[in-house]
A and B are shown apart, each in its own frame.
Chain A
């Protein structure tokens, strides 16, 4: 497993988790990230894949890391919000700040990862595309409208930059 481009030292992660190395595979990816690697950007909001605040990218796909065991992603590239800027997502982060799309912010790391996956797949998403990509990310603060605004900003910016 690589996380944000770096190979994971499973022994160190096991130590931090307080488990044996061969027990890491049976540990939820979310716990490996948060408690094994200290990457606390992904949050736990429900533990059953309903709220999306634990969303990370596994080989580019947005998944709930509370529903995945580490042993299911041993050969995968995992990306978290901490690595988002390095993979070209700084404009997305800036758009969320500028559009004041962030309130308490607890859902935002998951929302950003879902948006990042969407923008890779669909460079100029429609509002329906955005709804489809974010309907697994619960936010209780913002009412979601500003997420649309931020994603459209990024899409416009990237298209302008590419042309």
Chain B
């Protein structure tokens, strides 16, 4: 346990190190780079959802003056975005499976010429029947997107006798919930610049996983990974969208084909059409309760639409499976999740990674049970809360002591937003009614047991005593370098200003995996801690002092050839894997470490229009030690608003394979006018395996918001929404149906 009162840097709010450059406009994002002689790239995309690709005629486009390259599938040395067929091609070859799928790449002397050339590319297509309904994707007569059919993945697990538990229940709650595709809306659309020199590619493009993109580029170009340098930032937002993005591959292909710098910057319409979304889910849940509201058993069946290629589909469902029992302790649970291919929007990683979808089902069941049984909604959750050190309800593995679901709930329950809800509701004036809702969630930190999840760090001290650390995961808006510097400064006993951190560049940063799975602070911070400890221990053995004589120490270590260190942090597997067969550990990847979050939402509902306003919200966040508390609060607030967007307005609509919400005019993301005043309370705690007791938190904050909003609607107007987003139209229809 760390006493952060005694650490000069850890536990202090520290502005992001690049913030001064951001506020002056000086920070050059990957799409701001301007290299002399740069060509402009454009992607030619499919306008139909499913068709045989009979041919692509690029002759006219290539002949246009100022065009440097027009590439089709046959021009890609290895036309694959991953090792499996279902990873999809870089450029469509025999078939297109989605509106927006890339068919050709153009590079020209300027943007106008590139667009003119793109318009000259003639694509010959024979339309194929479209799979647009995820529920029909596995029907015998459904058109097949892949040779083996439309099943992308399935994960099922059972613990205990669920039938007996449900049969003996005092109350059984059963419902299906639906959650939509959600667009990341990172404000910087995908893009960047690439160069090809002496057989080496350098690519500046936003990435949550520069090492993975380096390998993807190398595969497509047919070169060794060390001939590719991927620089993954600075980037304007990620939220999962920079995990599966093929943009770095497009850039590298065009740079090699032309031998010149190439710049690409996709339009908002392109990314909204072609970019991966949060997986749409249909989740059916049955939960049995005893008369006191204790859960006896649950059965969850989930169906997810991953679109035409696999991206993260089955891995997302893996996380759904693990969180299908919510943050609750009970004896009998069953999960069966199926991921299917369709011609709808490709779906991939999005903050929360399969948890918001199933949590909406679970928490709605808790809300309903509390109502039916007449138990306080906080109390029913407390009665079932999984406590640190408990066994997980589906897999039976051990959680760590740092889990604080119950404390998060107690903080929520004691907060005036919850405690004073009756007085607040009484203040409503017609046609508005007021309600308050609560929900809680947990999510694993890191990739899970059996996955070999590893973060690495390198360090060098120079003769002036300055320490430079190269570490990952990358920064995509979390000011992760700032966090790493705080960890390093305290571990070394040095000043924050005497430590630099570099992230995101495969040429210098050791492979550290993705900025994903709430792992950057936890795993990356632990790797930084480890490499700093290595230096400190060296100094202690040699009688050198970093705190009082860093320059002298640096000089001596350089002279001794001991100025550099490397270290790694491997995510610890759960200590007891419970019911999971050892050979299948990575298949289910149960977590050892979890964070949790309880939220209270106040909602005002207009009974005439169905409009919902959320003026205030409480978030009680169990994140272990907050290394940079201001950064944690900012991440919480941003995540909550993404959860509220999913709850109230965000809905990527695709009908018959045609995306309908392809601009910010008809895809609504929350503005400042939609943002409630958010109060975040950090739950005291520390995770023994994390750096200074920290654990990840950026995903779990998204999860409770939609079910807490639904519960607030129930409290206000007596109906519990089962489909997200809860638009005014849907809510009015629901109120009329019940009336």
Contact = CB atoms under 8 A, between A and B. Distances in A.
A16 B167 CA distance: 75
A104 B25 CA distance: 13
A40 B32 contact: yes
Nearest to B272: A46
Interface in A128-146: 130-131, 134-146
A50 B272 CA distance: 14
B20 A104 contact: no
Main SS at interface, chain A: loop
B646 to A, nearest CB: 13
Contact of A46 (B184, B268, B478, B642): B268
A48 interface: yes
A76 B16 CA distance: 35
A71 interface: no
Contacts, number: 180
A44 B32 CA distance: 10
B638 A142 contact: yes
Interface of B: 13, 15-16, 18-20, 22-29, 31-32, 34, 109-110, 184-189, 234-239, 265, 267-268, 476-479, 630-631, 633-642, 663-665, 669, 671-673, 675, 677-678
Contact of B672 (A40, A42, A50, A137): A137
Nearest to A136: B671
A145 B630 contact: no
A70 to B, nearest CB: 16
Interface string A23-61: 000000000001100111111111110110100000000
A97 B19 contact: yes
Contacts of B23: 81, 84, 93-94, 96-97, 102, 105, 108-109, 112
Interface string A86-119: 0000000110111111111111110010000000
Given A140-B239, A142-B638, A48 B187 contact: no
Contacts of B669: 138, 140
Interface string A120-163: 00000000001100111111111111110000000000000000
The 9 A-B pairs at the shortest CB distance, nearest first, are namely A41-B25, A106-B236, A143-B637, A104-B477, A105-B22, A50-B664, A81-B25, A93-B23, A100-B630
Nearest to B268: A46
A85 interface: yes
A41 B28 CA distance: 8
Given A97-B16, A143-B641, A146-B634, 6 more contacts: A40-B28, A44-B31, A84-B25, A104-B234, A134-B672, A144-B675
A45 B237 CA distance: 11
A65 interface: no
B185 A50 contact: no
B19 A140 contact: no
Interface of A: 18, 34-35, 38-48, 50-51, 53, 80-82, 84-85, 93-94, 96-109, 112, 130-131, 134-147
A41 to B, nearest CB: 2
26 contacts: A40-B25, A48-B665, A50-B268, A50-B663, A81-B23, A94-B23, A97-B15, A100-B633, A100-B634, A102-B22, A103-B478, A103-B479, A104-B236, A104-B237, A105-B19, A105-B23, A106-B186, A106-B187, A108-B23, A134-B672, A137-B672, A138-B664, A140-B638, A140-B642, A144-B671, A145-B677
A143 B188 contact: no
B163 to A, nearest CB: 44
Nearest to B629: A100
B187 A97 contact: no
Nearest to B665: A50
A157 B673 CA distance: 25
Contacts of B641: 143-144
A144 B27 CA distance: 21
B632 to A, nearest CB: 10
B477 A141 contact: yes
Contacts of A53: 187
B268 A48 contact: yes
Contacts of A101: 634
B675 A141 contact: no
A147 B673 CA distance: 12
Nearest to B644: A143
Nearest to A81: B25
Quick one: which of B239, B477, B678 has the most chain A CB within 10 A?
Answer: B477
A139 B678 CA distance: 16
